Amino acid sequence: MEREHKPLTVGVLALQGDFEAHLRTLQRCGVHAQEVRTIQQLQEVDGLIIPGGESTTIMKLLQRYGLDTLLRQRAEQGMPVYGTCAGLIVMAREIEGYPQQPRLGLLNVAVARNAFGRQVDSFEIDLPVPKLGEPPLRAVFIRAPYVTRVGENVEVLASLNGKIVLVQQKNLLGGAFHPELTEDLRLHGYFVEMVRAYRKQQ
């Protein structure tokens, strides 16, 4: 009952990485954004962004603070989760070449880390994302992974030179790049709509 009076709240996992840029972008989308570091905060949000950073560190901290189990549970119950870059790696079922790396394993994909090569550590590009319409999305890639294989129920939303860089599996969204570092709010807006739809069902 109490939930109905609470404004729609999108959480950003704030253990490590570029969570502040996501918080600012969500605020610019006109939605209430909440840093998530504790179990209680994770219980209160209607959706969660896992930011870029270092995937091994983010996962280690998720486990240390006991957030991994609840996050898996809530995602499996339908809460929208959007992982960007390291967040995508943390969400993946398989990490190529790192079979022992702990992960949430929510998203039915395999990813390759640092997959665009060392020479081109970072780059910015206009990425066509048909779901978002025209113009293409401005996307920043920083030591980015990409998706090497997709399993059942995974929809490919964008590819770059044949490499899959944005996927959706029902309530789960995973992207290799950083939309929070540009002025383009459309991908965050798309995620906020997923969160709004989820909240309506509650």
Where does this chain bind ligand GLN (CB under 6 A)? Answer: 52-55, 85-86, 89, 113-114, 142-143
Known catalytic residue at 178:
yes
Q: Least distance in Å: CB of 89 to ligand GLN?
A: 5
Catalytic member of 178, 183, 188, 193:
178
Q: Which is nearer to ligand GLN, 84 or 168 (CB)?
A: 84
Alpha-carbon 13 to chain mean position:
10
**Residue 39, helix vs strand vs coil:** helix
Q: Least distance in Å: CB of 175 to ligand GLN?
A: 11
Catalytic member of 22, 85, 94, 188:
85
Catalytic member of 180, 183, 188, 193:
180
Angle, nearest 10°, between helix axes 19-28 and 186-201? 80
Print burial letters for 54-90: b (CB count within 10 Å at least 16), e (below 16): bbbebbebbeeeebbeebeebbeeebbbbbbbbbbbb
Residue 140's closest CA among 178, 105, 104, 186? Answer: 178
Q: Least distance in Å: CB of 146 to ligand GLN?
A: 11
Known catalytic residue at 85:
yes
Known catalytic residue at 29:
no
> How do beta strands 137-142 and 122-127 pair?
antiparallel
Q: Least distance in Å: CB of 100 to ligand GLN?
A: 14
Question: So which residues are the catalytic ones?
Answer: 85, 178, 180
